Amino acid sequence: MDYEIYDLGNVTLQGGATIRDCKLAYKTFGTLNAAKDNAIVYPTWYSGQHDANEWLVGPGMALDPAKYFIIIPNMLGNGLSSSPSNTPEPYNGPRFPNVTAYDNVKVQHRLVTEKFGISKLPLVTGWSMGALQTFHWGAMFPDMVERIAPFCGSAKCSRHNFVFLEGVKAALTADAAFKGGWYDTKPAIGLRAMARVYAGWGFSQDFYRAELDIKTLGFSSLEDFLVAFWEGFFLPKDANNLLTMLWTWQRGDISANEIYGGDFVKALGAIKAKAYVMPGATDLYFPPADSEFEVAHMPNAKFIPIPSIWGHFAGGPGTNPVDVKFLDDKLKELLAS
């Protein structure tokens, strides 16, 4: 096991359910300094676990363990933190409660403060749903978070993004083997269908036109890319876990809580952190226009699109070295400021 567990005890969620004996799985890199002011929080993305974040951490990189104490908390529902797949009865499987990004960041905040005694964070950053959690950190703890760098993500799930996810969900659950979440063997047809739906969204039209799946990623054909990359990606994952995280994503909204009462512009305005908001220029489900709106309502934010034809994958997970370099440079610039 290459990660730690923080025992949260009983966690009552925004929706009213309580996860008893709730677990937060996390991994750290580097050492927390004596002043406790060198920690970076770097949450995970949809279906990813901490190891799928490590491409942005390393010697000489912005997230250098020699300099920073980097904490990667696993999202609730991702199979390592409390999830449908690892929670005992009666809250197991499809009975696992709905979890919001707010709930996630609240337990992450407990880890950071209770376990490590940290009161200032020089940076929170993340890709995709990691960006959603990054925005939440900025809005929920404006006096604690000095910088945020959300990339290829948003502070609120857009209506279009919601619809895209409805398609993903419908494809997964159309498989009779899903059985309303009470499957014994995994709903493989649904997972494969979901993967094929996702394939059109994950990379851009330009990416496919340039045949980067073959020419850069080395797959032998488009169909090979769909099977080996996409189906291969989703098949090992638990369907209920995927649906839990999908629900979290669809309801993502930094203002959907008692602090901001649904006032999205107010919540954006409350983010004091110096922010680099970095959408992928060709991202089909987090289009730059949504980031521009966010930046326009944040007091200390810069809009920095990633000039890439890799669509959503401009931001991860380390798939394209050119984009990684761009992101890493921007993170260095932000951390130095």
Q: CA 253, 46, 36 angle in degrees (round to 5)?
A: 75
| 1: contact with its own copies by CB under 8 A | no
Q: Among the candidate windows 18-26, 140-148, 184-192, 253-261, which touches its own copies by CB under 8 A?
A: 184-192
Least distance (Å) between residue 306 CB and its own copies: 17
| 173: contact with its own copies by CB under 8 A | yes
Q: Is residue 43 within 8 Å of residue 120, measured between CB atoms?
A: no
User: Is 158 among the catalytic positions?
Assistant: no
Helix (H), strand (E) at residue 132? helix 129-140
State the sign of the Cα–Cα–Cα–Cα dihedral 132, 138, 144, 146: positive
Taken as a whole, the chain contains a residue count of: 337
Tokens representing 198? 């996702």
Give the C-alpha distances (Å, rounded to integers) separating 235 from 22, 186, 239, 265.
Answer: 26, 8, 9, 39
Kindly tell me which of 12 and 250 has the beta carbon lying closer to its own copies: 250
Spatial distance between the Cα atoms of 21 and 218, rounded to a whole number of angstroms = 44
Q: Point out the catalytic residue in the list 47, 81, 82, 128.
A: 128
Least distance (Å) between residue 125 CB and its own copies: 24
| 154: contact with its own copies by CB under 8 A | no
| Per-residue binding letters, 205-234, with its own copies (x by CB under 8 A) | xxxxx-x----------x---x--------
Spatial distance between the Cα atoms of 166 and 126, rounded to a whole number of angstroms = 23
Q: Is residue 100 within 8 Å of residue 251, measured between CB atoms?
A: yes
Kindly tell me which of 146 and 283 has the beta carbon lying closer to its own copies: 283
| 292: contact with its own copies by CB under 8 A | no
Q: Among 146, 238, 290, 294, indicate the residue that binds its own copies (CB under 8 A).
A: 290
Kindly tell me which of 34 and 289 has the beta carbon lying closer to its own copies: 289
Residue 306: beta bridge partners? 280
Q: Point out the catalytic residue in the list 283, 290, 291, 308.
A: 283
Least distance (Å) between residue 74 CB and its own copies: 28
Helical packing angle, 239-250 and 188-202, nearest 10° = 40
| 240: contact with its own copies by CB under 8 A | no
Q: Among 26, 198, 276, 326, indicate the residue that binds its own copies (CB under 8 A).
A: 198
Give the C-alpha distances (Å, rounded to integers) separating 263 from 103, 162, 204, 259.
Answer: 18, 19, 32, 9
| 277: contact with its own copies by CB under 8 A | no
Give the C-alpha distances (Å, rounded to integers) separating 198 from 49, 72, 158.
Answer: 18, 25, 17
User: Is 50 among the catalytic positions?
Assistant: no
Helical packing angle, 239-250 and 129-140, nearest 10° = 50
Tokens representing 45? 């993305």
Least distance (Å) between residue 323 CB and its own copies: 19
User: Is 160 among the catalytic positions?
Assistant: no
Least distance (Å) between residue 69 CB and its own copies: 38
Kindly tell me which of 146 and 238 has the beta carbon lying closer to its own copies: 238
| 296: contact with its own copies by CB under 8 A | no
| 160: contact with its own copies by CB under 8 A | yes
So which residues are the catalytic ones? 128, 283, 312
Residues in contact with its own copies by the rule CB under 8 A: 158-160, 162-164, 166-171, 173-177, 189-190, 192-193, 196-201, 203-209, 211, 222, 226, 284-285, 287, 289-290
